[in-house]
Amino acid sequence: MALLDDDDASVKLSMSVREMSIKGVEPPPEYIVKEGIFGAIESSPEAGQIPIIDISLFSTSSQDSAKAQIELEKLRSALSSSGCFQAIGHGISSSFLDKLREAATNFFALPEEEKRFNPMEENQKHFKVAHRTEGCGHDVKVSEERVFDWAYRPTLRVFPEDQRCLDLWLENPNNFGKMLHEYTTKVKFKMEILFKAMAKSLNLEENSFADKRFGKQAKMTARFNFYPQCSRSDQVLGVKPHTDGSGVTVLLQDKEVEGLQVFVDDKWVRVPIIPDAIVVNLGDQMQIMSNGIFKSPMHRVVTNPDRMRLSVALFNKPDPETEISPVEKLIDETRSRLYKTVKNYGRISYECYQRGEIALETVKI
């Protein structure tokens, strides 16, 4: 194991996680996770019973069938308990998903100087000015308490199309942009169907989420998560415990390496790999809109001592200027209103994550 002098911590922090992984450098203290309210990093938690739902049954041609009604009940049960499920029947071929994974992996393997890099200082400026972070980069230290994630994650706005910063889109591999556009367009179409199914499962008018909260100006951001092998997987996390600040997150997992874990019934469970399935988990904004009926699951990513792990996350959320609040029909004598009306929840979530706070707790009534 290669070690650097303790006085040279700044050198270690200037290295990317990929460089530290390749050189066998032990992660510096800023990456070491301390046991918190969600427990320590377990070596082998059990596999979770994450529901598998066929979302093809929510299409217009199938939505009134008996099978669709059963699947709708499964959807409500999944989202009101664990807050996530494995989606099949999404219509995206296995070969296409493999090509997307391959393109992302090839990008990560490029030398650092060939990656299109947007300094994190610029990312911070983007966030403050336009409530968004984009480009390629690593964590920055925003507080003394912050623990860094063992991850490298290019992030790009994909919808609305007129808000894409194409100068930040990855140029290598050269088919990357076309592939990302095709994938996100397909997912966006399926999300519109899923939003309506979610509303119907709560006995709401089907456009309660699709149009009124996630309309034409709804945002979709793509994040390519790379988790290099880590020599201290017992003390370092790919992503710390958190809930997503989105409305709904769609995740394409690595085809071979597990890492995603969800906190269910006061314990961490593994999310098994189903190669052609896409993981759907709710974000805080959907928990707010459903007045707490649907759950935004606490989750984390563990590191692997032997292999790199990849995932592709799509974050779907309302426009920052859209007011988010519980749907009125979900408030009555038996269920009081749980959350305040908020705007720009993404920023609230981001700032709370940096401080190690739970964002949803700050907007409760």
The DSSP annotation for 51-78 comes to -EEEGGGGSTTTTTSHHHHHHHHHHHHH
Give per-residue pLDDT as tens, 90-102: 999 999 999 999 9
- pLDDT at residue 317 greater than cutoff 60: yes
- Token pair for 5: 């002098």
Q: What percent of the chain has pLDDT over 90?
A: 63
* pLDDT over 70 at 137, yes or no: no
Say what the pLDDT of residue 125 is. Answer: 36
Q: Is 49 exposed, middle or buried (0-12, 13-18, 19+ CB in 10 A)?
A: exposed
Strand partners, 221: 157, 315
Amino acid 129: pLDDT: 36
Q: In what order do the strands lie in the sheet with 219-227?
A: 52-54, 84-88, 278-282, 248-252, 309-317, 219-227, 155-159
What does the pLDDT read at residue 359?
93
115's tokens: 């990656």
Measuring CA to CA, which residue among 239, 275, 258 is closest to residue 95?
275
Question: Measured between alpha carbons, how far is 89 from 109 in angstroms, rounded to an integer?
Answer: 31
Residue 258 pLDDT level (bands cut at 50, 70, 90): very high
What pLDDT, on a 0 to 100 scale, did the predictor assign at position 45? 87
pLDDT computed for residue 97 by the predictor: 97
pLDDT at 168: 75
Cα separation values, 8 from 4, 160, 212, 328, Å: 7, 44, 53, 56
Q: Which range is least confidently modeled, 44-53, 180-189, 328-337?
A: 44-53
Task: Report the pLDDT value the prediction gives residue 11, as an integer from 0 to 100.
Answer: 44
Phi, then psi, of 323 in degrees rounded to 5: -75, 130
Band of the pLDDT at 345, cuts 50, 70, 90? very high
How far from 355 is each of 111, 246, 297, 351, CA to CA, in Å?
A: 33, 18, 19, 7
Rounded Cα–Cα distance for residues 85 and 95 (Å):
22
147 vs 110: CA distance, rounded Å: 27
**Nearest partner of 224 among 53, 327, 107, 92, judged by Cα:** 107
**pLDDT (0 to 100) of residue 143:** 58
Q: Tens digit of pLDDT for each residue in 14-70?
A: 688 888 998 989 999 999 998 766 667 876 789 989 999 999 999 877 777 899 999
Q: With cut-offs at 50, 70 and 90, classify the pLDDT of residue 115.
A: low
If pLDDT is split at 50, 70 and 90, which confidence band does 167 have? confident
Q: If you average pLDDT over every residue of the chain, what do you get?
A: 86
The two three-digit tokens of residue 61, written as one number: 């041609």
| Res. 356: pLDDT tops 80 | no
| Predicted local confidence at residue 140, as pLDDT | 56
Between 263 and 107, the more confident residue is 263
Lowest mean pLDDT among 4-8, 144-148, 183-187, 261-265: 4-8
pLDDT of residue 351: 86
pLDDT of 138 strictly over 70? no
Q: Take residue 266 and report the two structure tokens written for it.
A: 């006061």
CA–CA separation, 321 and 342 (whole Å): 9
pLDDT(119) > 60: no
Q: What is the mean pLDDT of residues 83-88?
A: 98
- Is the pLDDT reported for residue 336 higher than 50? yes
pLDDT of residue 60: 78
Band (2; pLDDT cuts 50, 70, 90) = very low
Please give the Cα distance from 131 to 154 (Å, whole number).
17
Across 345-360, average pLDDT: 87
Residue 240 Ramachandran class (φ > 0 left, ψ -120 to 50 alpha, else beta):
beta
Peptide bond into 318 cis (omega under 30): no
Helix (H) or strand (E) holding 311: strand 309-317
- The stretch 134-148 carries a mean pLDDT of 66
